[in-house]
Amino acid sequence: MVRPVSVLHVLSVLIMLFAVSMLLPFGVSFLYGDAARSAHYQSMLITLASGAVLWGGTRPGRGELQPRDALLLVALVWTVLPAFATLPLLLHLHEMSFTDAYFETVAALTTTGSTVLSGLDRLPASINFWRCEMQWLGGMGIIVLAVAILPLLGIGGSQIMRAETPGPMKDTRLTPRITEAAKGLWLVYAGMTLACMLAYKAVGMSWFDAVVHAFTTLSLGGFSSHDANFAYFNSPAIEATAMLFMIAAGINFGTHFLAFRKLSLAPYRSDPETRVYLAVLAVSAFGIAYFLLANGVYPSFWTALRHGAFNVVSIATTAGFASADFNQWPIFAPVWMLFLCCFATCSGSTGGGIKMIRAELMVRQALREIMSIIHPRAYLPLKVAGQRIENQIIFAVLAFMLIWGGSVIVMTMLLTASGLDIISAFSAVIVCLCNTGPGLNQVGPATTYASLNDFQTWVCTAAMLVGRLELFTLFIVVTPAFWRR
Amino acid sequence: MKIVILGAGQVGSSVAESLASEANDITLVDIDGARLRNLQDHLDVRTVVGSAAHPSVLADAGIEDCDMMIAVTQSDETNLVACKLAQQLFNVPTRIVRLRATDYLANENVLGPDCFDVDLAICPEQVLTDYIVKLIEFPEALQVLEFANGKVSLVAVRAFQGGPLVGHPLRDLRKHIPSVDARIAAIFRGDTPVQPDGDTLVQAGDEVFCLAATKEIREVMHELRRMDKPVRRVMIAGGGNIGLRLARALEREYSVKIIEYNKRRCEILSTRLDRGLVLQGDVTDEALLEAENVSDMDLFVAVTNDDENNIMSCLLAKRMGARRVVSLINRRSYVDLLHAGEIDIAISPAQATIGTLLAHVRRGHVTQVHSLRRGVAEALEAVVHGDRNSSRCVGRRIEEIDLPNGTSIAALVRGDDVVMAHHDTVVQAEDHAIVFVTDKKQLPKVEKLFEVSVGFV
């Protein structure tokens, strides 16, 4: 049985916490003396007040969270917080509709990085900062952060974290206590962000650009403070730095955590995903570079490699930065990149999509079926890193793939029915479900999602949320069985 | 020697049997009283019922004044606890422990003096696995034994019509392969040993034991029979401890299929194996063997814990076309029935595994003991100590040494060199002598031979 009141009570705490996170852009607006100061001030107060009222109202009915409540909480957090996050945008940009603002904040928190805004370079620094900060918060997970710093979530924490972190197998604990694990993950995440920030500064970004781009690189978000995105810098050094950190962010942060704690590279070697992930990226980057060269898109190999590798890594890791308008490339290249973004990143990373481990499991399951026809009496376990994978997990992954494919078809149909061309519709659904960012044609890297009508925007918004929470968490909450007493 | 054996399972009882026949005082401890009574009926041993890890039981077994404790119960943990107690409370000088889990062996401190203080850890399953792996490396051999850390090998080969040496006297071996210094240590014709000398004719069907440096052993075997194709495909019947170890040892280099009946066990096997194919089914299921192409197998090894199943599955596999079949057989009467018949090699687990134990029981400085022909004969490696006065071997030519009947010194290992023993070879101090004993009754005399007389310190 679900107990909405106790869920709302925890939600109210998270809303207030979210209000506190608005202090940062408020401070930035002071620092730069920009025009959005009052917008931040008001949004913070509104958010804090709403949280406080909800907290007071639900206090009598509060209680411990059950596993089922955890799912509801996660679903609510990821739908309600973006609504509050729209406040600075709505209060500052008066002409913006709620639909567009909500799309923008969902794209931020889910680390998708598709935007409806243009003229980013002219926006107040604090607004850009807010967009990028949200990506950073959403990257590792708002609730993981809450578990790390708030003791109140301690008890049901593990279920909540499981509902929020991506990947099919979440039972391995990094530390005996869930709070410690959440803290560890966030520390590694924050540490790597800091390193990325300093690296960006060292290769020539301004401090402000370094900070916001570090936020959106480590979270594999893809927002930028410039319309031209990474093409604005036009610097191979910056692109190389970005690639390095994007690749790092696409690896399981649990693995990073173990590697940092043991100060060795062994955890990467024994991780079943990392090797395949790196190999897929390397082969694709060089392959696409060669393809671009062969098709005469770029005159020299080095330019082809520079743009080919950066865009392949950026799309495959679901960051969605762009240093070139890959929509203009021969169609195979961008389609291959979209295909990669569906599964390249590792589970437990900040990337989106199906995740490498599920793809590996599917391939092995297919081979296993073939083997079992040849040897009907054989025991053929599916093993990853020497560990047997239970059939239950394989079924769950199969169901996930089925729902994932179903979602792609249904949403593509909805978008085409509403008048979008099939390439734009299909690519938009894929990049939104994978939390990548730029698609093709009408939603390509050179354009924004502003051209979509309201209905299409809502479909994309839903796709982003569904993709970030890996389908089940959202779909479960809308089934009648979930609410049955 | 007073010996306490903990655990009267297969290993425990066969060790007891083989040691009791050599005039040792044996006490057997086990929790199963019925089994002990059964053993006491046909062995001259004392028995104590109780848990081997309890100090009172150990005291009852007279562990205080025993010379050696052999802990071979089913449980590693019981064995280790008993070992520690024996060392700490009862001052037992020599403690031998059976350990299955490789984890205990991974860190040497675990068995060191500060921890459990084990003198010798034995793992019968591993010994058997090594035994079978050797047979796969040398598919022509009936048995392959190593001495002096692998420098010298002793192989048992059945002579076949067509081998260059078959039908010729032994001295022709030198002419055929002048570069190789090898020695025929013994020949068994049927069940009777033939004392080999230069004029002995090798006949087809003889079981010939030859000794040579390990790297030259193949050439020697070639003299006695045509060489087989190397083994590529192996089928293992039975996925118990031995089956699993064997599959793990082989799966990298050979194509391995393993059949196991128990479904739970199949899951464990398939988890532990990387490449080997785990098949669920009865090892005597013709249809399964047929479907998995038993006829293409170079080797079929039956290692279930049931003699009858092993024998039947081997017979079936042989009939269906497997090139060579090897069976594990515990009961000695079965072994004698089957060996060299339809089943190419019958291995008696007890005989194969107690060699390392026997080395510790023997007097003199014996470093290695191998049972041959199901325990009828023995090959042992002894270090010669002392000088011409204190030892009965040092400084003497082989022909001067007073060897008992049916006993021969086959080779000497001197440092890194292997010296084949000829009648005029002189034994030096610290040589490792490899001695072949075809009649076990002569063992005490052989031991005496290598003991240093009391005057020498």
Could you tell me the two tokens for B213? 């440096």
Report the pLDDT value the prediction gives residue B190, as an integer from 0 to 100. 76
Residue A369, both tokens: 């079926």
Q: Rounding to the nearest 10 degrees, give the CA dihedral for residues B213, B218, B221, B223.
A: -100
Average pLDDT of span B11-32? 84
When pLDDT is cut at 50, 70 and 90, the band that residue A428 belongs to is very high
**Structure-token pair, residue B54:** 């309890």
Residue B197 pLDDT > 90: no
* Chain B residues whose beta carbon lies within 8 Å of the beta carbon of residue A376: 291
What's the confidence (pLDDT) of residue B302?
A: 94
CB contact under 8 A, A378 and B279: yes
- Say whether pLDDT at A157 is over 70: no
DSSP code, position B447? H
Cite the beta strand spans of A147-223 per DSSP E.
Answer: none
Write the pLDDT tens digit of every residue in A182-229: 888 889 999 999 999 999 999 989 999 999 999 999 999 889 999 888
Q: Which residue in A has a C-alpha nearest to residue B290's C-alpha?
A: A375
Residue B298 has pLDDT above 50, yes or no: yes
- Assess contact for A460 and A114: CB atoms under 8 A: yes
Report CA torsion sign: A239, A245, A248, A250: negative
User: Is the Cα torsion angle B396, B398, B402, B407 positive or negative in sign?
Assistant: positive
The total number of residues written for chain B in this structure? 457
Residue B127, pLDDT score = 85
DSSP assigned state of A354: S
Question: B134, B162 in Cβ contact below 8 A?
Answer: no
Position B363 scores a pLDDT of: 64
Mean pLDDT of B358-368: 72
Q: Give the whole-angstrom CA distance, residue B195 versus residue B358.
A: 25
The answer to whether the complex's ipTM is over 0.90 is no
For residue B382, what are the β-bridge partners? Answer: B366, B433
Token pair 């025009």 in the structure block, residue:
A35
Give the pLDDT mean for A233-257. Answer: 91
Choose, out of A364, A379, A387, the residue to mutate when testing the contact with B (most B CBs < 10 Å): A379
**Interface touch A377/B270, C-beta < 8 Å:** no
* Predicted confidence (pLDDT) at residue B454 exceeds the cutoff of 60: no
Cα end-to-end distance, chain A, whole Å: 5
Orientation of helix A272-294 relative to helix A301-316, angle to 10°: 140
Residues of A in contact with B274 (CB under 8 A): 386
pLDDT band at residue B457, thresholds of 50, 70 and 90? very low
Contact check, Cβ <8 Å, B277/A377: no
Candidate from A377, A381, A386 with C-beta closest to B279: A377
Range with lowest mean pLDDT among A372-381, B30-39, B406-415: B406-415
Q: What is the mean pLDDT of residues B144-157?
A: 83
Tokens, residue A13: 């705490």
Residue of A186, A160, A185 whose CA lies nearest to A473: A160
Q: What is the pLDDT of residues A98-138, one digit of tens each?
A: 999 999 999 999 999 888 888 888 888 899 999 999 999 98
Q: Tell me which residue of B12, B17, B18, B16 sits closest to B32, measured CA to CA.
A: B12
With CB atoms and an 8 Å threshold, state whether A381 touches B271: yes
Residue A129's pLDDT is: 93
Instruction: Check whether A150 has a pLDDT greater than 80.
Output: no
Section A429-450 average pLDDT? 88
Token pair of A307, please? 């743009």
Asked whether the predicted pLDDT for residue B195 surpasses 80, the reply is no
Mean pLDDT of chain A: 87
What value, to the nearest 5°, has the Cα angle with vertex B423 and ends B422 and B425?
A: 65
Quick one: closest CA in B to A386, which residue? B271
A377 with B271: Cβ contact below 8 A:
no
Rounded CA gap, A177 and A173, in Å?
A: 8
How much of chain A exceeds pLDDT 70, in percent? 94
Residues A407, A75, A15: CA angle, nearest 5 degrees: 145
Cβ–Cβ of B270/A381 closer than 8 Å? Answer: yes
Q: What is the dihedral of CA B302, B308, B313, B316, to 10 degrees?
A: 140
Asked if A379 and B291 come within 8 Å (Cβ–Cβ), the reply is no
Do B267 and A379 make contact, defined as CB atoms within 8 angstroms?
yes
Tell me: the pLDDT tens digits for A447-459?
888 888 999 999 9
Handedness of CA A309, A313, A315, A319 (dihedral sign): negative
Q: Give A389→chain B minimum CA distance, Å.
A: 9
Count Cβ atoms below 10 Å from residue A309 Cβ, excluding itself.
21
- Please state the rounded mean pLDDT for residues A267-274: 86
**Exposure b/e, B44-60, CB count within 10 A at least 16 = b:** ebebbbebbbeeebbee
Q: What pLDDT is stored for residue A46 in this prediction?
A: 94
Among positive and negative, which fits the CA dihedral B64, B66, B67, B71?
A: negative
> Is the confidence at residue B259, as pLDDT, over 50?
yes
Helix axes A422-433, A454-468, angle to 10 degrees: 30
Alpha helices in A59-177 (DSSP H): 67-92, 98-109, 125-140, 142-149, 157-164
Position A384 scores a pLDDT of: 81
The answer for B 59-88 residues in CB contact with A (under 8 A) is: none
pLDDT, tens digit (0-9, with 9 covering 90-100), for B54-85: 999 999 898 888 888 999 998 999 999 999 99
Could you tell me which residues of chain A have a Cβ less than 8 Å from any Cβ in chain B? 375-381, 383, 386-388
Contacts of B291 in chain A (CB under 8 A): 375-377
pLDDT band of residue B278 (cuts 50, 70, 90) is very high
Q: Per-residue pLDDT for B408 more than 90?
A: no
Q: Sorting pLDDT into bands at 50, 70 and 90, what band is B4?
A: very high
Residues of B in contact with A386 (CB under 8 A): 274
Q: Which tops the pLDDT comparison, A37 or B391?
A: A37
Nearest to B146 by CA among B167, B131, B163: B131
Q: Is the pLDDT of residue A170 over 70?
A: no
pLDDT-based confidence at residue A305 (cuts at 50, 70, 90)? very high
| Mean pLDDT, all residues of chain B | 84
pLDDT at A172: 60
Of B323, B299, B302, nearest to B313 (Cα)? B302
Residue A171's pLDDT band (cuts 50, 70, 90): low
Determine the average pLDDT of the residues in B327-346: 78
Q: From the list A376, A377, A380, which residue is nearest B270 (CB)?
A: A380
pLDDT in tens, A231-241: 899 899 999 99
Bridge partner list, B436: B379, B408
Residue B144 belongs to what H/E stretch?
strand B141-147
Q: Provide the greatest CA pair distance for chain A.
A: 74
B192-194 and B183-189: which strand pairing?
antiparallel
- Contact (CB, 8 A) for A356 and A347: yes
SS3 B21: coil
Using alpha carbons, select from A206, A224, A227 the residue that is nearest to residue A216: A224
Task: Supply the pLDDT for residue B456.
Answer: 45
Euclidean distance between CA atoms B183 and B154, whole angstroms: 10
Q: In this predicted model, what pLDDT tens digit does every residue of B410-429 receive, in sequence order?
A: 888 888 888 887 778 888 88
B73 within 8 A of B7, measured Cβ to Cβ:
yes
Nearest-neighbour CA in chain B from A382: distance (Å) = 9
- pLDDT grade, residue A149 (50/70/90)? low
Judge whether residue B435 has pLDDT over 80: yes
Q: What is the largest CA-CA distance in chain B?
A: 69
Sequence-distant (6+) residues with CB within 8 A of B288 are A377, B259, B279, B281, B282
Containing H/E element for B236?
A: strand B233-237
Size of interface A-B (CB pairs under 8 A): 33
Using one digit for the tens of pLDDT, what is the confidence trace for B221-235?
877 777 778 889 999
Separation in Å, CA A2 to CA A70, A284, A481, B120: 9, 46, 11, 62
Expressed in angstroms, the distance from the first to the final Cα of chain B is 22
Give the Cβ contact number of residue A261 at 10 Å: 13
Question: pLDDT category, A81, cuts 50, 70, 90?
Answer: very high
Q: Do A376 and B291 touch (CB under 8 A)?
A: yes
- For B266, name the nearest residue in chain A, comparing CA atoms only: A379
3-class DSSP state for residue B368? strand
Distance in angstroms (rounded) separating the CA atoms of residues B239 and B260: 5
Helices (H) and strands (E) in chain A, counts: 22, 3
pLDDT tens for residues B117-131? 888 888 888 888 988
**Chain B interface mutation, best of A368, A370, A371, A377, highest count of B Cβ atoms under 10 Å:** A377
Closest CA to B77 of B41, B57, B103, B58: B103
Q: What percent of chain A has pLDDT over 90?
A: 45
Interface contact flag, A376 B278, Cβ < 8 Å: no
E strand or H helix that includes residue B97:
strand B94-98
Residue B308: CB atoms within 10 Å: 12
Residues in B touching A377 (Cβ below 8 Å)? 279-281, 288, 291-292
Residue B364 buriedness (CB in 10 A; 0-12 / 13-18 / 19+): middle
- Distant-in-sequence, close-in-space partners of B410: CB < 8 Å, separation ≥ 6: B154, B183, B185, B211, B379, B420, B421, B434, B435, B436
DSSP-derived 3-state class of residue B379: strand
| Nearest CA among B143, B132, B138 for reference residue B300 | B132
pLDDT score of B405 more than 90:
no
Which whole-number Å values give the CA distances from A454 to A94, A113, B7, B37, B399, in the listed order?
Answer: 17, 18, 80, 89, 107
Pick the residue from chain B with its C-alpha nearest to A373.
B291
- What is the identity of the amino acid at A35? A
Contact check, Cβ <8 Å, A379/B281:
no
More confidently predicted of B181 and B374: B181
Q: Cβ–Cβ of B280/A379 closer than 8 Å?
A: yes
CB contact under 8 A, A388 and B288: no
